Amino acid sequence: MKLRSLKARIGVCIAILMLIVVAILSGIAYHEFKEGLWKNMDLTLQSDLQQVKGLLFSAQGSEMEKKQELTDLLNAQATFGSFDYQIWFEDHISGQTEMYITSDLYHAYTQHSASAPVLEKSVLLDLNYNNQSYRAIWARYAMPHNRSIPGQTVNIALAISSHYAFHEVGEFVRVLLIAGAIVIWAAWGLTQQILRWGLKPLHSLAEQMSHITESDLATINPSCPDVHLELVSFVTSWKDMLARLAKAMEEQKRFISDAAHELKTPIALMKSTLQLAQIKKRDTEYYENTIADALEDVDRLHNLVNQLLELSRIESPTSITRREWIHLNNVIEDVIEYHKPLLDEKGFVLKPDLCPADLYGSREQLQCLFNNLIDNAIKYAPPKTTISIAMKTDDNSVTIIVHDEGGNIPQEECGLLFERFYRISKARDRNSGGSGLGLAIAKEIVLQHGGQIHVESNHTIGTRFIVSLPKNTRNQETRNAD
Protein backbone atom coordinates (compact mmCIF):
# COMPACT_ATOMS: atom_id res chain seq x y z
CA MET A 1 0.00 0.00 0.00
CA LYS A 2 1.41 3.36 -0.99
CA LEU A 3 1.66 5.88 1.83
CA ARG A 4 0.35 9.28 0.78
CA SER A 5 1.03 11.02 4.07
CA LEU A 6 4.41 12.71 4.40
CA LYS A 7 4.34 12.15 8.15
CA ALA A 8 3.62 8.47 7.66
CA ARG A 9 6.45 8.09 5.14
CA ILE A 10 9.01 9.82 7.33
CA GLY A 11 7.70 7.93 10.37
CA VAL A 12 8.11 4.60 8.57
CA CYS A 13 11.63 5.56 7.46
CA ILE A 14 12.59 6.53 11.02
CA ALA A 15 11.01 3.33 12.36
CA ILE A 16 12.92 1.20 9.85
CA LEU A 17 16.15 3.03 10.68
CA MET A 18 15.55 2.52 14.40
CA LEU A 19 14.70 -1.14 13.77
CA ILE A 20 18.03 -1.62 11.99
CA VAL A 21 19.93 0.18 14.75
CA VAL A 22 18.13 -1.75 17.50
CA ALA A 23 18.70 -5.04 15.65
CA ILE A 24 22.44 -4.35 15.29
CA LEU A 25 22.83 -3.25 18.91
CA SER A 26 20.72 -6.17 20.11
CA GLY A 27 22.81 -8.59 18.10
CA ILE A 28 25.99 -7.19 19.60
CA ALA A 29 24.52 -7.26 23.12
CA TYR A 30 23.25 -10.82 22.60
CA HIS A 31 26.65 -11.99 21.40
CA GLU A 32 28.49 -10.29 24.26
CA PHE A 33 26.03 -11.59 26.87
CA LYS A 34 26.21 -15.17 25.58
CA GLU A 35 29.99 -15.08 25.31
CA GLY A 36 30.18 -13.74 28.86
CA LEU A 37 28.04 -16.58 30.22
CA TRP A 38 30.06 -19.21 28.37
CA LYS A 39 33.33 -17.64 29.49
CA ASN A 40 32.11 -17.63 33.09
CA MET A 41 31.22 -21.34 32.83
CA ASP A 42 34.64 -22.12 31.33
CA LEU A 43 36.40 -20.28 34.14
CA THR A 44 34.31 -22.20 36.68
CA LEU A 45 35.16 -25.53 35.05
CA GLN A 46 38.88 -24.71 34.88
CA SER A 47 38.89 -23.61 38.53
CA ASP A 48 37.09 -26.76 39.67
CA LEU A 49 39.41 -28.87 37.54
CA GLN A 50 42.42 -27.53 39.43
CA GLN A 51 40.75 -28.20 42.76
CA VAL A 52 39.87 -31.76 41.75
CA LYS A 53 43.41 -32.30 40.52
CA GLY A 54 44.81 -31.04 43.81
CA LEU A 55 42.48 -33.32 45.77
CA LEU A 56 43.39 -36.39 43.72
CA PHE A 57 47.11 -35.76 43.87
CA SER A 58 47.01 -35.26 47.61
CA ALA A 59 48.72 -38.04 49.59
CA GLN A 60 46.37 -37.68 52.55
CA GLY A 61 43.09 -39.54 53.07
CA SER A 62 41.57 -42.72 51.76
CA GLU A 63 39.83 -43.20 48.43
CA MET A 64 36.38 -43.07 50.05
CA GLU A 65 37.23 -39.88 51.86
CA LYS A 66 38.52 -38.29 48.66
CA LYS A 67 35.39 -39.32 46.80
CA GLN A 68 33.21 -37.69 49.45
CA GLU A 69 35.37 -34.58 49.42
CA LEU A 70 35.11 -34.52 45.61
CA THR A 71 31.32 -34.73 45.72
CA ASP A 72 31.08 -31.99 48.36
CA LEU A 73 33.48 -29.80 46.41
CA LEU A 74 31.61 -30.02 43.09
CA ASN A 75 28.18 -29.61 44.66
CA ALA A 76 29.40 -26.51 46.51
CA GLN A 77 30.73 -25.00 43.25
CA ALA A 78 27.61 -25.75 41.19
CA THR A 79 26.77 -22.14 40.39
CA PHE A 80 25.11 -22.96 37.06
CA GLY A 81 23.56 -26.27 38.08
CA SER A 82 24.55 -29.77 39.19
CA PHE A 83 27.91 -31.16 38.14
CA ASP A 84 28.50 -34.46 36.41
CA TYR A 85 31.98 -35.89 36.62
CA GLN A 86 34.04 -38.96 35.76
CA ILE A 87 37.59 -39.79 36.78
CA TRP A 88 39.36 -42.85 35.42
CA PHE A 89 42.77 -44.31 34.79
CA GLU A 90 43.69 -45.25 31.30
CA ASP A 91 43.09 -48.91 30.43
CA HIS A 92 40.78 -49.12 33.45
CA ILE A 93 37.60 -47.55 32.15
CA SER A 94 34.58 -49.53 33.21
CA GLY A 95 33.87 -50.98 36.65
CA GLN A 96 37.24 -50.23 38.19
CA THR A 97 37.62 -49.23 41.79
CA GLU A 98 39.90 -46.40 40.79
CA MET A 99 37.01 -44.64 39.03
CA TYR A 100 34.88 -41.82 40.46
CA ILE A 101 31.78 -41.44 38.30
CA THR A 102 28.35 -39.76 38.18
CA SER A 103 27.96 -40.02 34.36
CA ASP A 104 29.62 -41.95 31.61
CA LEU A 105 31.29 -38.86 30.18
CA TYR A 106 33.97 -40.84 28.41
CA HIS A 107 31.47 -42.44 26.05
CA ALA A 108 29.73 -39.08 25.61
CA TYR A 109 33.07 -37.63 24.52
CA THR A 110 33.78 -40.43 22.10
CA GLN A 111 30.27 -40.20 20.61
CA HIS A 112 30.99 -36.54 19.85
CA SER A 113 34.26 -37.49 18.15
CA ALA A 114 36.24 -35.70 20.84
CA SER A 115 39.91 -36.68 20.78
CA ALA A 116 41.78 -37.09 24.03
CA PRO A 117 43.67 -34.01 25.17
CA VAL A 118 47.44 -33.85 25.25
CA LEU A 119 48.97 -34.90 28.53
CA GLU A 120 48.91 -32.12 31.11
CA LYS A 121 46.43 -30.21 28.93
CA SER A 122 42.67 -29.75 28.92
CA VAL A 123 39.99 -29.21 26.27
CA LEU A 124 36.59 -27.46 26.53
CA LEU A 125 33.62 -28.63 24.50
CA ASP A 126 29.81 -28.71 24.31
CA LEU A 127 28.03 -32.05 24.84
CA ASN A 128 24.51 -33.30 24.33
CA TYR A 129 24.15 -36.03 26.91
CA ASN A 130 20.87 -37.69 27.94
CA ASN A 131 18.95 -35.08 25.92
CA GLN A 132 20.55 -32.26 27.87
CA SER A 133 23.16 -29.70 26.91
CA TYR A 134 26.42 -29.56 28.85
CA ARG A 135 29.56 -27.51 28.89
CA ALA A 136 32.44 -29.88 29.67
CA ILE A 137 36.17 -30.01 30.29
CA TRP A 138 38.47 -33.01 29.83
CA ALA A 139 42.06 -33.13 31.11
CA ARG A 140 44.80 -35.80 31.34
CA TYR A 141 47.54 -35.82 33.98
CA ALA A 142 50.37 -38.20 35.02
CA MET A 143 49.95 -39.37 38.61
CA PRO A 144 52.80 -38.41 40.91
CA HIS A 145 55.21 -41.17 42.06
CA ASN A 146 54.13 -40.96 45.65
CA ARG A 147 50.76 -42.51 44.69
CA SER A 148 49.92 -46.18 44.87
CA ILE A 149 49.97 -46.39 41.10
CA PRO A 150 52.92 -44.19 40.17
CA GLY A 151 53.21 -42.96 36.56
CA GLN A 152 49.64 -43.94 35.73
CA THR A 153 47.68 -41.41 33.54
CA VAL A 154 44.50 -40.09 35.13
CA ASN A 155 41.57 -38.60 33.14
CA ILE A 156 39.40 -35.97 34.75
CA ALA A 157 36.10 -35.03 33.03
CA LEU A 158 33.75 -32.42 34.45
CA ALA A 159 30.44 -31.35 32.86
CA ILE A 160 28.01 -28.64 33.89
CA SER A 161 24.48 -28.22 32.57
CA SER A 162 23.98 -25.36 30.03
CA HIS A 163 20.27 -25.09 30.77
CA TYR A 164 20.72 -22.16 33.11
CA ALA A 165 22.85 -20.28 30.57
CA PHE A 166 20.37 -20.90 27.74
CA HIS A 167 17.55 -19.80 30.02
CA GLU A 168 19.37 -16.57 30.85
CA VAL A 169 20.10 -15.95 27.16
CA GLY A 170 16.42 -16.49 26.32
CA GLU A 171 15.36 -14.04 29.02
CA PHE A 172 17.88 -11.52 27.73
CA VAL A 173 16.51 -11.88 24.18
CA ARG A 174 12.98 -11.25 25.45
CA VAL A 175 14.16 -8.13 27.26
CA LEU A 176 15.87 -6.93 24.05
CA LEU A 177 12.70 -7.52 22.00
CA ILE A 178 10.53 -5.62 24.48
CA ALA A 179 13.04 -2.77 24.77
CA GLY A 180 13.41 -2.60 20.97
CA ALA A 181 9.65 -2.44 20.47
CA ILE A 182 9.39 0.36 23.04
CA VAL A 183 12.22 2.31 21.38
CA ILE A 184 10.68 1.95 17.91
CA TRP A 185 7.24 2.94 19.17
CA ALA A 186 8.72 5.94 21.00
CA ALA A 187 10.69 6.95 17.89
CA TRP A 188 7.53 6.74 15.77
CA GLY A 189 5.53 8.86 18.21
CA LEU A 190 8.32 11.40 18.65
CA THR A 191 8.73 11.68 14.87
CA GLN A 192 5.00 12.32 14.46
CA GLN A 193 5.10 15.05 17.09
CA ILE A 194 8.18 16.70 15.58
CA LEU A 195 6.65 16.62 12.09
CA ARG A 196 3.34 17.96 13.40
CA TRP A 197 5.22 20.84 14.99
CA GLY A 198 7.41 21.35 11.92
CA LEU A 199 4.47 21.36 9.49
CA LYS A 200 2.34 23.68 11.59
CA PRO A 201 3.25 26.73 9.43
CA LEU A 202 2.10 24.81 6.35
CA HIS A 203 -1.25 24.07 7.98
CA SER A 204 -1.55 27.78 8.78
CA LEU A 205 -0.82 28.67 5.15
CA ALA A 206 -3.30 26.06 3.93
CA GLU A 207 -5.95 27.56 6.20
CA GLN A 208 -5.27 31.03 4.78
CA MET A 209 -5.29 29.70 1.22
CA SER A 210 -8.70 28.14 1.73
CA HIS A 211 -10.15 31.63 2.36
CA ILE A 212 -8.57 33.28 -0.71
CA THR A 213 -11.07 34.19 -3.40
CA GLU A 214 -10.79 35.82 -6.80
CA SER A 215 -11.95 39.14 -5.44
CA ASP A 216 -9.28 39.48 -2.75
CA LEU A 217 -6.40 37.74 -4.55
CA ALA A 218 -4.64 41.01 -5.26
CA THR A 219 -4.98 42.34 -1.69
CA ILE A 220 -4.27 39.16 0.28
CA ASN A 221 -1.06 39.26 2.33
CA PRO A 222 -0.53 35.81 3.88
CA SER A 223 1.31 35.90 7.19
CA CYS A 224 3.31 33.10 8.73
CA PRO A 225 5.43 34.52 11.58
CA ASP A 226 6.61 31.16 12.96
CA VAL A 227 7.84 29.75 9.68
CA HIS A 228 10.97 27.60 10.00
CA LEU A 229 14.15 28.45 8.16
CA GLU A 230 13.76 25.45 5.81
CA LEU A 231 10.31 26.68 4.72
CA VAL A 232 11.21 30.34 4.13
CA SER A 233 11.92 29.80 0.42
CA PHE A 234 8.65 27.89 0.03
CA VAL A 235 6.60 30.61 1.72
CA THR A 236 8.36 33.30 -0.31
CA SER A 237 7.70 31.43 -3.56
CA TRP A 238 4.08 30.95 -2.52
CA LYS A 239 3.62 34.67 -1.94
CA ASP A 240 5.30 35.42 -5.28
CA MET A 241 2.96 32.93 -6.95
CA LEU A 242 -0.06 34.72 -5.48
CA ALA A 243 1.29 38.03 -6.73
CA ARG A 244 1.80 36.58 -10.23
CA LEU A 245 -1.68 35.08 -10.22
CA ALA A 246 -3.17 38.39 -9.13
CA LYS A 247 -1.27 40.20 -11.87
CA ALA A 248 -2.29 37.62 -14.48
CA MET A 249 -5.95 37.82 -13.47
CA GLU A 250 -5.80 41.62 -13.52
CA GLU A 251 -4.28 41.54 -16.99
CA GLN A 252 -6.91 39.05 -18.10
CA LYS A 253 -9.71 41.29 -16.80
CA ARG A 254 -8.16 44.31 -18.50
CA PHE A 255 -7.69 42.32 -21.70
CA ILE A 256 -11.33 41.25 -21.69
CA SER A 257 -12.44 44.82 -20.95
CA ASP A 258 -10.24 46.26 -23.69
CA ALA A 259 -11.27 43.59 -26.19
CA ALA A 260 -14.93 44.25 -25.43
CA HIS A 261 -14.37 47.98 -25.90
CA GLU A 262 -12.50 47.45 -29.15
CA LEU A 263 -15.28 45.22 -30.46
CA LYS A 264 -18.01 47.48 -29.16
CA THR A 265 -16.72 50.64 -30.87
CA PRO A 266 -16.99 49.51 -34.54
CA ILE A 267 -20.23 47.67 -33.82
CA ALA A 268 -21.76 50.83 -32.29
CA LEU A 269 -20.55 52.95 -35.21
CA MET A 270 -21.86 50.50 -37.75
CA LYS A 271 -25.21 50.29 -35.95
CA SER A 272 -25.60 54.09 -35.75
CA THR A 273 -24.65 54.45 -39.44
CA LEU A 274 -27.24 51.88 -40.48
CA GLN A 275 -29.88 53.37 -38.18
CA LEU A 276 -29.41 56.81 -39.76
CA ALA A 277 -29.83 55.27 -43.19
CA GLN A 278 -33.02 53.56 -42.01
CA ILE A 279 -34.74 56.63 -40.56
CA LYS A 280 -35.75 58.05 -43.93
CA LYS A 281 -35.19 57.44 -47.56
CA ARG A 282 -31.86 58.63 -48.94
CA ASP A 283 -30.34 58.91 -52.35
CA THR A 284 -28.22 56.18 -53.88
CA GLU A 285 -24.91 57.92 -53.13
CA TYR A 286 -25.73 58.14 -49.41
CA TYR A 287 -26.54 54.44 -49.26
CA GLU A 288 -23.32 53.62 -51.06
CA ASN A 289 -21.31 55.69 -48.57
CA THR A 290 -23.19 54.07 -45.68
CA ILE A 291 -22.43 50.60 -46.98
CA ALA A 292 -18.76 51.58 -47.48
CA ASP A 293 -18.53 52.85 -43.88
CA ALA A 294 -20.20 49.67 -42.58
CA LEU A 295 -17.82 47.50 -44.57
CA GLU A 296 -14.90 49.50 -43.18
CA ASP A 297 -16.11 48.76 -39.67
CA VAL A 298 -16.62 45.09 -40.58
CA ASP A 299 -13.04 44.97 -41.89
CA ARG A 300 -11.80 46.49 -38.66
CA LEU A 301 -13.75 43.90 -36.66
CA HIS A 302 -12.41 41.14 -38.88
CA ASN A 303 -8.84 42.37 -38.41
CA LEU A 304 -9.29 42.65 -34.64
CA VAL A 305 -10.74 39.15 -34.33
CA ASN A 306 -7.92 37.72 -36.45
CA GLN A 307 -5.31 39.40 -34.26
CA LEU A 308 -7.01 38.15 -31.11
CA LEU A 309 -6.97 34.60 -32.50
CA GLU A 310 -3.35 34.97 -33.61
CA LEU A 311 -2.27 36.21 -30.17
CA SER A 312 -4.15 33.38 -28.46
CA ARG A 313 -2.60 30.81 -30.79
CA ILE A 314 0.94 32.13 -30.26
CA GLU A 315 0.57 32.21 -26.47
CA SER A 316 -1.02 28.76 -26.25
CA PRO A 317 1.45 26.21 -24.79
CA THR A 318 -0.19 23.45 -26.84
CA SER A 319 0.14 25.18 -30.19
CA ILE A 320 2.45 23.47 -32.69
CA THR A 321 4.46 25.74 -34.97
CA ARG A 322 6.59 24.36 -37.76
CA ARG A 323 10.17 25.54 -37.45
CA GLU A 324 12.89 25.30 -40.05
CA TRP A 325 16.08 26.91 -41.21
CA ILE A 326 15.17 30.03 -43.21
CA HIS A 327 16.94 32.94 -44.89
CA LEU A 328 15.75 35.85 -42.76
CA ASN A 329 16.63 38.46 -45.38
CA ASN A 330 14.32 36.70 -47.86
CA VAL A 331 11.46 36.79 -45.34
CA ILE A 332 11.91 40.55 -44.81
CA GLU A 333 12.06 41.12 -48.58
CA ASP A 334 8.74 39.31 -49.01
CA VAL A 335 7.16 41.51 -46.31
CA ILE A 336 8.50 44.67 -47.95
CA GLU A 337 7.15 43.54 -51.32
CA TYR A 338 3.73 42.94 -49.74
CA HIS A 339 3.61 46.50 -48.31
CA LYS A 340 5.00 48.21 -51.41
CA PRO A 341 1.61 49.29 -52.85
CA LEU A 342 0.59 50.88 -49.52
CA LEU A 343 3.96 52.56 -49.17
CA ASP A 344 3.69 54.05 -52.65
CA GLU A 345 0.11 55.14 -52.00
CA LYS A 346 1.08 57.08 -48.86
CA GLY A 347 4.28 58.48 -50.37
CA PHE A 348 6.74 56.70 -48.07
CA VAL A 349 10.27 55.92 -49.16
CA LEU A 350 11.49 52.55 -47.84
CA LYS A 351 15.23 51.97 -47.64
CA PRO A 352 16.22 48.38 -46.90
CA ASP A 353 19.76 47.54 -45.82
CA LEU A 354 19.69 43.75 -45.61
CA CYS A 355 22.38 41.10 -45.35
CA PRO A 356 22.27 37.29 -45.63
CA ALA A 357 21.39 35.59 -42.35
CA ASP A 358 20.17 32.07 -41.58
CA LEU A 359 17.82 31.60 -38.64
CA TYR A 360 16.05 28.61 -37.15
CA GLY A 361 12.43 29.57 -36.56
CA SER A 362 8.89 29.80 -37.82
CA ARG A 363 8.60 31.47 -41.23
CA GLU A 364 4.94 32.27 -40.62
CA GLN A 365 5.56 33.92 -37.25
CA LEU A 366 8.57 35.91 -38.46
CA GLN A 367 6.54 37.21 -41.41
CA CYS A 368 3.86 38.29 -38.94
CA LEU A 369 6.52 39.98 -36.75
CA PHE A 370 7.97 42.18 -39.50
CA ASN A 371 4.57 42.74 -41.06
CA ASN A 372 3.38 44.26 -37.77
CA LEU A 373 6.51 46.41 -37.36
CA ILE A 374 6.33 47.82 -40.89
CA ASP A 375 2.56 48.29 -40.59
CA ASN A 376 3.11 50.19 -37.32
CA ALA A 377 5.68 52.46 -39.00
CA ILE A 378 3.28 53.20 -41.88
CA LYS A 379 0.47 54.08 -39.46
CA TYR A 380 2.36 56.41 -37.15
CA ALA A 381 5.22 57.88 -39.20
CA PRO A 382 4.74 61.37 -40.72
CA PRO A 383 3.45 61.16 -44.32
CA LYS A 384 5.92 61.12 -47.18
CA THR A 385 8.95 60.37 -44.98
CA THR A 386 11.55 57.64 -45.05
CA ILE A 387 11.17 54.23 -43.41
CA SER A 388 14.30 52.11 -43.20
CA ILE A 389 14.98 48.46 -42.32
CA ALA A 390 18.55 47.55 -41.45
CA MET A 391 20.11 44.18 -40.58
CA LYS A 392 23.39 43.30 -38.95
CA THR A 393 24.65 39.94 -37.85
CA ASP A 394 27.37 38.31 -35.78
CA ASP A 395 28.26 34.75 -34.87
CA ASN A 396 25.40 34.32 -32.41
CA SER A 397 22.54 36.66 -33.32
CA VAL A 398 20.81 38.80 -35.92
CA THR A 399 19.71 42.38 -35.18
CA ILE A 400 16.97 44.08 -37.21
CA ILE A 401 16.15 47.79 -36.83
CA VAL A 402 12.91 49.26 -38.21
CA HIS A 403 13.19 53.07 -38.22
CA ASP A 404 10.73 55.82 -38.96
CA GLU A 405 10.86 59.58 -38.43
CA GLY A 406 7.95 59.79 -36.02
CA GLY A 407 9.83 60.38 -32.77
CA ASN A 408 6.90 61.42 -30.59
CA ILE A 409 6.67 58.53 -28.08
CA PRO A 410 7.24 59.67 -24.47
CA GLN A 411 10.15 57.85 -22.82
CA GLU A 412 8.03 56.61 -19.93
CA GLU A 413 5.60 54.97 -22.36
CA CYS A 414 8.13 53.17 -24.57
CA GLY A 415 8.05 50.04 -22.41
CA LEU A 416 4.23 49.99 -22.40
CA LEU A 417 3.82 49.87 -26.16
CA PHE A 418 4.02 46.07 -26.18
CA GLU A 419 1.07 45.63 -23.83
CA ARG A 420 -2.23 44.56 -25.31
CA PHE A 421 -4.49 47.38 -26.54
CA TYR A 422 -2.05 50.02 -25.30
CA ARG A 423 -1.91 53.29 -27.19
CA ILE A 424 0.00 56.43 -26.48
CA SER A 425 -1.68 58.41 -23.66
CA LYS A 426 -4.41 55.77 -23.55
CA ALA A 427 -5.94 57.27 -26.70
CA ARG A 428 -8.22 55.00 -28.67
CA ASP A 429 -8.06 56.75 -32.00
CA ARG A 430 -9.61 54.64 -34.71
CA ASN A 431 -8.34 56.96 -37.44
CA SER A 432 -5.03 55.08 -37.44
CA GLY A 433 -6.84 51.79 -37.98
CA GLY A 434 -4.79 50.08 -35.31
CA SER A 435 -6.16 47.60 -32.80
CA GLY A 436 -3.42 47.89 -30.19
CA LEU A 437 -2.47 44.22 -30.57
CA GLY A 438 0.18 44.32 -33.30
CA LEU A 439 3.14 45.13 -31.04
CA ALA A 440 1.93 42.69 -28.35
CA ILE A 441 1.93 39.94 -31.00
CA ALA A 442 5.38 41.07 -32.21
CA LYS A 443 6.83 40.85 -28.69
CA GLU A 444 5.36 37.37 -28.09
CA ILE A 445 6.86 36.09 -31.36
CA VAL A 446 10.28 37.51 -30.46
CA LEU A 447 10.15 35.91 -26.99
CA GLN A 448 9.17 32.53 -28.44
CA HIS A 449 12.25 32.71 -30.66
CA GLY A 450 14.45 33.45 -27.63
CA GLY A 451 15.09 37.07 -28.63
CA GLN A 452 14.52 40.60 -27.34
CA ILE A 453 12.69 43.66 -28.62
CA HIS A 454 12.68 47.28 -27.44
CA VAL A 455 11.92 50.72 -28.77
CA GLU A 456 13.86 53.98 -28.79
CA SER A 457 12.11 57.26 -29.65
CA ASN A 458 12.96 60.96 -29.60
CA HIS A 459 12.70 63.94 -31.93
CA THR A 460 16.35 63.64 -32.97
CA ILE A 461 16.57 60.02 -34.10
CA GLY A 462 12.86 59.34 -34.67
CA THR A 463 11.48 55.94 -33.59
CA ARG A 464 13.48 52.70 -33.81
CA PHE A 465 12.18 49.20 -33.05
CA ILE A 466 15.21 47.00 -32.38
CA VAL A 467 14.82 43.24 -32.62
CA SER A 468 17.59 40.80 -31.65
CA LEU A 469 17.14 37.11 -32.54
CA PRO A 470 19.57 34.28 -31.72
CA LYS A 471 20.79 32.11 -34.56
CA ASN A 472 20.52 29.01 -32.37
CA THR A 473 24.01 27.54 -32.86
CA ARG A 474 23.01 24.17 -31.41
CA ASN A 475 20.48 23.62 -34.17
CA GLN A 476 23.05 24.90 -36.66
CA GLU A 477 25.39 22.10 -35.59
CA THR A 478 22.57 19.58 -35.92
CA ARG A 479 21.83 20.76 -39.44
CA ASN A 480 25.51 20.55 -40.42
CA ALA A 481 25.73 17.01 -39.03
CA ASP A 482 22.74 16.01 -41.13
| pLDDT, tens digit, 9 for 90 and up, residues 84-114 | 767 777 754 444 444 566 666 666 666 665 6
Q: Which residues of 261-299 are buried (b: 16+ CB within 10 A; e: fewer)?
A: ebbebbeebbeebeeebeeeeeeeeeeeebeebbebbee
pLDDT in tens, 443-460: 888 988 889 999 988 888
Give me the long-range contacts of 244-250 (CB less than 8 A, separation at least 24).
Answer: 245/217, 246/217, 246/218, 249/214, 249/217, 249/218, 250/218
Q: Name the least confident of 86-95, 185-194, 250-259.
A: 86-95
User: Which of 223-227, 419-423, 456-460 tops mean pLDDT?
Assistant: 456-460
For residue 150, the model assigns a pLDDT of: 52
pLDDT in tens, 279-332: 877 778 887 888 887 887 787 777 777 777 777 777 666 566 778 899 999 999
Higher-confidence position of 369 and 276: 369
* Percent above pLDDT 90 for the chain: 10
Q: 101 - beta bridge partners?
A: 86
Dist. CA 64–CA 69, nearest whole Å? 9
For residue 467, the model assigns a pLDDT of: 94
pLDDT in tens, 110-162: 666 567 788 888 888 888 777 778 888 888 888 775 455 555 788 888 888 77
For residue 222, the model assigns a pLDDT of: 60
What mean pLDDT is predicted for residues 9-13? 77
* pTM exceeds 0.75, yes or no: no
Map residue 278 onto helix, strand or coil: helix
> What is the residue-averaged pLDDT of the chain?
77
Is it the case that residue 401 has pLDDT exceeding 90? Answer: yes
Higher-confidence position of 132 and 333: 333
For residue 389, the model assigns a pLDDT of: 93
Dist. CA 224–CA 200, nearest whole Å? 10
Is it the case that residue 478 has pLDDT exceeding 60? Answer: no
Is it the case that residue 204 has pLDDT exceeding 80? Answer: no
- Separation in Å, CA 118 to CA 141, 386, 470: 9, 121, 93
Higher-confidence position of 97 and 67: 67
- Sketch out the chain's domains with CATH numbers: 6-170 (3.30.450), 229-313 (1.10.287.130), 321-481 (3.30.565.10)
